[in-house]
Amino acid sequence: MSDGHWHSTPFDDDKLKEECGIFGVVGVAEAANFTALGLHALQHRGQEAGGIVVHHPEQGFNSVRRFGYVRDNFTDQDTMDMLPGSLAIGHVRYSTSGSKGATAIRDVQPFFGEFAMGGAAIAHNGNITNAEALRRELIERGSIFQSSSDSECIIHLMARSLQRNIPERMKDALRRVEGAFSVVAMTRTKLIGVRDPLGVRPLVLGRVADGWALASETCALDIIGAEFVREIEPGEMVVISEAEGVVSHRPFEAKRPRFCIFEHVYFSRPDSILGGRSVYSTREAIGRELAKEAPVDADLVCPVPDSGTPAAIGYGLESGIPYAMGIIRNQYMGRTFIEPTESIRNMGVRLKLNVNRALVRGKRIILVDDSVVRGTTSRKIKEMILDAGAKEVHFRIASPPTAWPCFYGVDTPQREKLLAATMSEEEMRAHLGVDSLRFISLDGLYRAVGEAQGRDPSAPQYCDACFSGEYPVEPMDQLQRGFRLKAAE
């Protein structure tokens, strides 16, 4: 992960990391157990640490925060006994803001605050683009910060609000915040969910037994047997209680939504539903579109597992070239293995992936992956395939070139480390040493997610800043640090 230890093997180093998964439940016995299950289903959104906060009428608020996987921290009875109550929220994280590589337990969400009208806890997925300015202002006015996380600003803004109840204080706070935020929060009796006006990051509502659940993705509702009700809409705040059910508010002025298109490409689990569309079907459609845009004569279409699999299936179906598992993933590669020497560290990909030699020998192979970020992994995989005797290697990438960093809750390298920021497609092909390299076009990606006319350049339907360099919210903190936006054409 991001702590610089060797166990971030090169295989996963070259993927963009979604920063967080959030989950909340109200009106069910043993809410913490439901939350642990929900977070387990969202583990792909953050593997660094997790936390759960609960409220019980007699025992008040309790929380447990731990480094590592949900399954290692929130499955033993002793831990879960510390978390009684019928109302809980939880969070899994991969740090984007805050101290990189030196995460302290105090940075692990949910964050808790005690206010005049009682306590509240909050968990946030996204990134606040004016967090540094807000933090400076709050510290000058006497706020004392416990963590390095941008999300803590929300708690301090709530504390300073003059509103009479916590949902109103939260509205006050979030109106000061810029960037991307999907939030779950809780008071002693209420579960609260909010999406920012652009709806960049996801949040869904489900019905579970006599209660309600909020989650980053529908796969977290599936695991607890909850019925998916609907998405929380961009700019909507829902306040949910056992007494009143779901009450919807509109605290922000309405804007045209700009959901993150990369959720469709990579972040979300393929068994989730986004915007009424199956993520798996969308990824298969991306593969079909790619086969139309970038055909090539070859013997086999092979995914880079697991993220390239649905697109590779789509490419195979559209092109008529057989789909095959040319690369096999070792499912049991944990985060830490042995403390390796440099020579073993360089074999990192082999620990996670192995080539199906008998299948690829002598063949012309199309490798389908979801993205190329730095290109480090792509080169290693290409070498493995050629070492196994493949005749040709053609890369087909199920997203446009990633040329710009994301400031809305995704961990992106600095711009100069993104291969596509400094190289043309042909230069990237030469750098990776493959027979051909093609990315899906931005219009092709939009068609695959259901926009038949492609991307509307005057009013893009999604946030695609990582591909286009067009940021729907100006990244204030980054601009003050000298980040330069794309020049207007």
The string of pLDDT tens digits covering residues 176-193 is 999 999 999 999 999 999
What does the DSSP 8-state code read for residue 226?
A: P
Whole-number pLDDT of residue 13: 55
CA–CA distance, 187 with 119 (Å, rounded to integer): 6
The mean per-residue pLDDT over the stretch 413-432 comes to 93
Residue 338 reports pLDDT greater than 50 = no
Q: DSSP letters of 88-106? A: EEEEEE--SSS-TT---GG
**Judging by beta carbons within 10 Å of its beta carbon (0-12, 13-18, 19+), is residue 342 exposed, middle or buried?**
exposed
Give residue 102's pLDDT band: very low, low, confident or very high (50, 70, 90).
low
Residue 30 region, left (φ>0) first, then alpha (ψ -120 to 50), else beta? left
Whole-number pLDDT of residue 10: 33
Which of 7-21, 148-162, 386-400 is the least confident region?
Answer: 7-21
Residue 389 reports pLDDT greater than 60 = yes
Give residue 410's pLDDT band: very low, low, confident or very high (50, 70, 90).
confident
The pair of three-digit structure tokens given for residue 34, joined into one six-digit string:
């439901």
Give yes or no: 20 in active site: yes
Residue 235 reports pLDDT greater than 50 = yes
Give residue 11's pLDDT band: very low, low, confident or very high (50, 70, 90).
very low
Whole-number pLDDT of residue 352: 81
The pair of three-digit structure tokens given for residue 150, joined into one six-digit string:
């941008």
What are the angstrom distances between the C-alpha of 137 and each of 141, 156, 192, 391? 6, 11, 26, 61
128, 179 Cβ separation under 8 angstroms: yes
The mean per-residue pLDDT over the stretch 99-107 comes to 70
CA–CA distance, 407 with 413 (Å, rounded to integer): 11
Which of 234-238, 340-344, 358-362 is the least confident region?
Answer: 340-344
Residue 333 reports pLDDT greater than 60 = no
Tell which residue, 23, 28, 25, has the closest CA to residue 209: 28
Residue 5 reports pLDDT greater than 80 = no
Whole-number pLDDT of residue 376: 85
Q: Which of 20, 219, 406, 466 is an active site residue?
A: 20
The structure's pTM equals: 0.91
Residue 483 reports pLDDT greater than 50 = yes
Q: Which amino acid appears at position 141 of this protein?
A: R
465, 471 Cβ separation under 8 angstroms: yes
394, 366 Cβ separation under 8 angstroms: yes
Give residue 413's pLDDT band: very low, low, confident or very high (50, 70, 90).
confident
What percent of the chain has a predicted confidence (pLDDT) above 70? 91
- The overall average pLDDT reported for the chain is 91
Whole-number pLDDT of residue 17: 65
Q: DSSP letters of 346-392? A: TTHHHHHEEE-HHHHTT-EEEEEES--SSSHHHHHHHHHHHHTT-SE
Give residue 82's pLDDT band: very low, low, confident or very high (50, 70, 90).
very high
189, 242 Cβ separation under 8 angstroms: yes
